[in-house]
Chain A
Amino acid sequence: MKLIEIKEILEAEVVSGEYDPEIEIEIGCSSDLMSEILAFGKPGSILLTSLMNIQVINTANVADIKAVCFVMGKIPDENIINLAKKNDIIVFITKFTTFESCGRLYKNGLKSCSYLNFEK
């Protein structure tokens, strides 16, 4: 699924500056515990979370997660956005909850981390 499609499905806004709308994201994962994301997140995926601090960006960075979506209309502060920009991580904000966001993306065909675990 293209970033631009994700943006439309989540009626989201990109707050990390310029990005390539054609970038493909295949996998979605969601948790508010970063160790879970470190353990199960897949490179190139999108992380949906209601947690908001710079450790979310650090987690995405070390785990090679391409995009982060903050939910429920929360707006990240400058430190978070700057760190994301510096590390080429795309940051979305959506007014939807984690539940609604995951549901919409799954319905539109985004795969999940666990789906891939089972395939192995």
Chain B
Amino acid sequence: MVNLKDIVQKLDLKVVSGDINREVSAGYASDLLSDVIANAQKDNIWITLQTHVNIVAVANLQELAGIILVNGRQPEQATLKKAEQENIPILLTELSTFEIVGKLYELGIHGNKMSSA
């Protein structure tokens, strides 16, 4: 478990919503909501470039630790409002998915183990 606050600090992420005082179990990177619903796990940090309001619902459903929006993307107004309501941390970075995942990996956050079908 790595603290989200540490991650924010070390990777210079911009926090736009939610309480970042929580633990991260592992990471999940995907831009397909159905895929995240199927495969993300509790306390994952989710890396995506999707910005619409549905991401908050997905994060809530899966009890994710937070969402990192990549490549300089900004959340939509509705997304931000909902994220504040639901206390879901949304964090911003200028980096691409590949690079921010790489840096998270270096901080000791790994991917979920998949029970291969």
Contact = CB atoms under 8 A, between A and B. Distances in A.
Interface string A64-102: 000000001100000000000000000000011111111
A99 B112 contact: yes
B116 interface: yes
B35 A102 contact: no
B14 to A, nearest CB: 16
B96 A73 contact: no
Contact of B29 (A51, A102, A113, A115): A102
Contact of A113 (B96, B106, B117): B96
B31 A99 contact: no
Contacts of A36: 31, 49, 71
Nearest to B46: A99
Given A33-B49, A73-B114, A99 B32 contact: no
A31 B102 contact: no
B67 to A, nearest CB: 14
Contact of B101 (A30, A32, A51): A30
A30 B96 CA distance: 8
B60 to A, nearest CB: 20
A40 interface: yes
Given A40-B71, A50-B30, A98-B29, A106 B103 contact: yes
Interface string B105-117: 1100111101011
Contacts of B89: none
7 contacts: A30-B29, A73-B116, A96-B114, A99-B27, A100-B111, A102-B105, A112-B95
Q: Which 9 residue pairs spanning A and B have beta carbons closest together?
A: A106-B102, A100-B111, A103-B105, A112-B99, A32-B31, A114-B96, A99-B111, A102-B101, A97-B111
